[in-house]
Structure 1
Amino acid sequence: MKKFAAGLAALTLAGALGASVPAFAAGQGDLIKPVDKELTFVFVPKVIHPWYDVVAEGAQFAVDEFAKQGIKINMIWDQPPQADVVDQNARIEANIGRHPDGLAVACLDQATNVQLLKEAVGAGINTITFNSFCDDAFPFIGPKSSEQDGYDLGEYLAKRLDGKGKIAILAGSLTASDHVQRITGFKKALEQYPDMQIVFEQPDDDILENAVSLTESALSANPDLAGIFGSNASNPIGAARAVDNAGLSGKVAIVGMDDLPEAVDFVCKGTIDALKAQRQWDMGYWAINYMVAMNENHTIPMFHNTGSRFLTKDDCK
């Protein structure tokens, strides 16, 4: 009887403890919310540009993958025709009002973009950033700092020119953090070469035609120009067009960013000496994946570094 009483007491205690187990003590899988509706994701890049076409290709690939799983995604690209801070902010604000299931922004101006992105998060919108870093408060896909790319290209150009000569810089957009950081890195690299002198530095506002005309001006003002650095995806192409038209291909060294088809053609031709190419296809692919994950209540990384790689004529073989 004593054993029975003891057993009964143990069962009673176990029952009491069991009754006190909170209802939320379930499997972690129960935290995930299946997607049961069509999702709308909005991308707001810095400008209409072929570089973002590659981002969109990666995003579309992910959209097609999810469609096979039964998750339908409506992807919208809302792009300013030019790199204009006021225009981009107006588009971000308008899209906050639409309350999409995901908002992906390439920051053009950290100071003003951050406030709007905080508004988006406050409105309950799943918000991420890509391409150009904005703030640690938001998940980011891309290189958090682009200074190393600029430094690497500065080092490459210095070695190509034996540490001597006059240099021009096409500065892109003065508010875009990635453009600014590349120029900072490029200048740091050149500090080691006192016989290299920066004689021209102008923003082209990420407009190809501006890059062509600015390069023509730099060549006119400096007939002995030795090299050109392009801080974004379009200005190496603009520089190459102007240099090629002037019959100076191979005589004026050019280094710059990214692997747009025309830029790669100029590398293979020998007009552009080197490019640092980002992996923007991955930016689009992972942006879609992470925004779906956020809608399902998954965790996602706050920083996904997609990196970059050198492209030279050796890669044309």
Structure 2
Amino acid sequence: MTLHAHHDLALRLKQQAQQLGFDPVGLAAVPAGERLELRTAALERWLAAGYQADMAWMADPRRRAVEQLLPGVRSLLAVGLNYYVEADRAPGALKVARYGWGRDYHRVIDGRLRQLGRWLEQQVPGVGWRACVDSAPLMDKAWAEQAGLGWIGKNGNLINRERGSWLLLGHLLTTLELPADAAATTLCGSCSRCLPACPTGAITEPFVVDSRRCLAFHTIENRDPELPQAITSKLEGWVAGCDICQDVCPWNQQPLQSSEDADLQPRPWLLNLQAEEALGWSDADWDTKLRASALRRLKPWMWRRNLRASRSGTA
């Protein structure tokens, strides 16, 4: 394939991704060079400090070696799916992180990336590809940064100039060598609004999040029968995830485009979640309400634990 043909295919691949609802999109070369090496070293330090808590999968060695996910990988298309929806919770409702408002993003992104992979195969028969969502052992934010989608902010989230940090990420790995986009430049500057905003001090220093103190970790990943008192007393109404460090970010306070994507529209009950009512729901009720939701990760007993904790935390 000529250089011109590679550039043309890269452009058409991005256009196809945009037609599937992804924006921004960008390409990174594999191997990526020094920045990825620095990000990998930072992950090693984070793991060594024990900040991953019980999330053993963060130590999967494949996370630090993209070649193990797709032998012969030469390029990576990073895609972002805007999940910001202009909708308000009902007064007094408990809080659920925005990423869980719509359909399970793993399914949504994976399905669309697979469509993209099949399109690529039609253009270049025999090409190798693999779709990856955040359940795959890949440094997804680091690769998205490398592909120019945005920069990793001091709160650990990927931030885009136009979209802020309300982006769900996906990646299409391919054995094709495609022209890479420029990596993103960090634009947090001297702002550190997210650090003091975290009620538990989980952002221990810029760019470092200690999961052991994070409300999102405890409400979603912690499998203990009760939440630690230090967490319960600081829940501030959050019962499934937490968006505080994103809500205070100046990049999220600009006028943002509200997603019209049907898969991302909020389920009404998530915007009007009341502890007393929800504590009366059976396991079957929860099963129905959480059908095709990323929040199925929380079992009914965990929802009840979190709901009870939210009441005692405000008592």
Rg: which structure is higher? 1
* TM-score normalized by the length of structure 1: 0.24
Q: Which has the higher helix share?
A: 1
Taking structure 2 as the reference length, the TM-score comes to: 0.24
More strand by share: 1
Task: Point out which structure has higher relative CO (alpha carbons under 8 A, 6+ apart).
Answer: 2
